[in-house]
Amino acid sequence: MRRYTLPAILLHWVTAFLIVCAFGLGLVMVDIPGITPTKLKYFSWHKWLGVTVLGIACVRMLWRLTHAAPPLPASIPVWQVRASHALHGLLYILIFAVPVSGYFYSLAAGVPVVYLGLIPLPVLIEANAEWKPILKQVHYALNMTLLTCVVIHVGAAIKHLVIDRDGVFRRMLP
């Protein structure tokens, strides 16, 4: 069975790791009451992770557009192949949409994003009290959708490893 290329594998696992870190940090930081130095530091780290995910997503998309995924085994039912393609498409959309929504939420809140504390990102929208709660909800909803998709993706991967034993899981291992 053909495997993914090493760059595709590395981009996959780095993206997954960064998303898990950003999500976990997001959960922790919003539960810190008030405005504290720790909370502000976590917000900065969360934004930096998001910008990094977005940058890697761009590289990953370029790689994927120029390097086809290895074919799935013929033994996989057509409905599962279609579901897999749909889920992967949604995951790609979300790895772009979640950081972008967070970026616009931050801007609407009047807080510019300065990547790694060194590189100010462009202010594409001015602070907007009306848009802030809407963008906050959009960012939250997209994150929950991403979480759901990741759980389904991991569940399917485990199914291929433990139940089907068809080699699909091993295609993405380094």
For the chain, how many structural domains are there in total?
A: 1
**Could you list the residue range(s) of the whole structural domain that residue 88 is in?**
6-172
125 part of a folded domain: yes
Answer whether residue 1 shows pLDDT above 80.
no
Q: For the segment 58-97, what is each residue's pLDDT rounded down to a tens digit?
A: 999 999 999 999 999 999 999 999 999 999 999 999 999 9
Q: What global pTM score does this model have? A: 0.94
- 157 lies in some domain: yes
- At residue 142 the predicted structure's pLDDT band, cuts being 50, 70 and 90, is very high
Residue 132 lies in a domain: yes
Here the CATH number for the domain that contains residue 149 is 1.20.120
Per the domain annotation, does 77 fall within a domain?
Answer: yes
- Region of residue 117 (phi > 0: left; psi between -120 and 50: alpha; otherwise: beta): left
Closest C-alpha to 87, from 139, 152, 40: 152
Q: Is 1 within the bounds of a domain? A: no
Q: Answer whether residue 144 is part of any domain.
A: yes
pLDDT over 90, % of the chain? 99
Position 148 in a domain = yes
